[in-house]
């Protein structure tokens, strides 16, 4: 199964935001499916759990797959998927999530939290990536401390035998930190900076990187 796994240096770094842009770019040249196999902090609307991130991914993909296929496991609790499932007396295992990621087309899978965040019983996001055998797009918030966050995540990925194909610095607010140049001194991973004001440049660079997938 061909695809990309979207992970981050932590929570709230903009994984879903970056994933939406990647999905739209990939959809220009191929059919793309999306999977958010498990999502916590879902909104409860009349007893039905609404996975906000999965909905955004699905809209970007525009394949009209049922949301329950895009996101099979949904929890209301604002905690890790492992903790949320255990609180309900459920045993969510790695094989469940692998099965939930299956798709016939090129698939974008978004994880939860960072590479070493728990995602199922005795399983981390890194374990799911290993099982899916997918290259990783690592999203890091472009802020003070981003160099440390990026290098810690890269080191963790290397120890787990994962392939980071791209590092995305999500520049939510313009800054003069030059984190991309600093990180590049310690890794040969392709680094791209997302800046809303330079969207055309970002898309051009990323499109070239995606051609080989």
State the pLDDT at residue 202: 81
pLDDT of residue 145: 97
The pLDDT profile of the chain, 213 residues, written as one tens digit per residue, is: 899 999 999 999 999 999 999 999 998 888 999 999 999 999 999 999 999 999 999 999 878 899 999 999 999 999 988 899 989 989 999 999 999 999 998 999 999 999 999 999 999 999 999 999 999 999 999 999 999 999 999 999 999 999 999 999 999 888 999 999 999 999 999 999 998 777 777 888 787 777 766
Instruction: Report how far residue 154's alpha carbon sits from residue 176's, in angstroms, rounded to the nearest whole number.
Output: 23
Burial status of residue 25 (CB atoms within 10 A of its CB: 0-12, 13-18, 19 or more): middle
Is 36 among the catalytic positions?
yes
Give me the pLDDT at residue 5, please. 98
- pLDDT value of position 46: 94
Domain ranges within the chain, ordered by starting residue = 7-206
Q: Which of 36, 45, 59, 208 is catalytic?
A: 36
CATH class (in words) of the domain with range 7-206: alpha beta
Give the per-residue pLDDT at 166.
95
Instruction: With CA atoms as reference, report the closest residue to 112 among 186, 213, 45, 35.
Output: 35
Q: What does the pLDDT read at residue 106?
A: 94
Q: Is the whole model's pTM more than 0.85, yes or no? A: yes
């Amino acid at each position: 199964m061909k695809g990309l796994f979207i992970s981050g240096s932590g929570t709230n770094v903009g994984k879903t935001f970056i994933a939406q842009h990647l999905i739209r770019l990939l959809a220009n040249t191929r059919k793309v499916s999306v999977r958010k196999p498990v999502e916590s902090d879902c909104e409860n609307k009349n007893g039905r759990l609404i996975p906000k991130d999965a909905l955004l991914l699905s809209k970007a993909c525009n394949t009209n797959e049922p949301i329950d296929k895009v996101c099979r496991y949904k929890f209301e609790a604002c905690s890790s998927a492992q903790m949320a499932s255990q609180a309900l007396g459920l045993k969510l295992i790695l094989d469940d999530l692998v099965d939930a990621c299956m798709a016939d087309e090129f698939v974008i899978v978004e994880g939860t939290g960072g590479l070493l965040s728990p995602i199922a019983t005795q399983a981390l996001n890194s374990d799911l990536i290993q099982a899916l055998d997918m290259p990783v797009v690592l999203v890091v918030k472009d802020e003070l401390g981003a160099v440390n966050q990026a290098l810690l995540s890269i080191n963790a990925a290397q120890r787990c035998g994962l392939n980071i194909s791209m590092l995305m610095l999500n520049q939510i607010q313009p800054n003069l930190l030059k984190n991309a140049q600093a990180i590049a001194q310690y890794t040969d991973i392709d680094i791209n900076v997302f800046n809303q004001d330079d969207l055309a440049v970002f898309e051009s660079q990323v499109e070239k990187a995606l051609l080989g997938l």
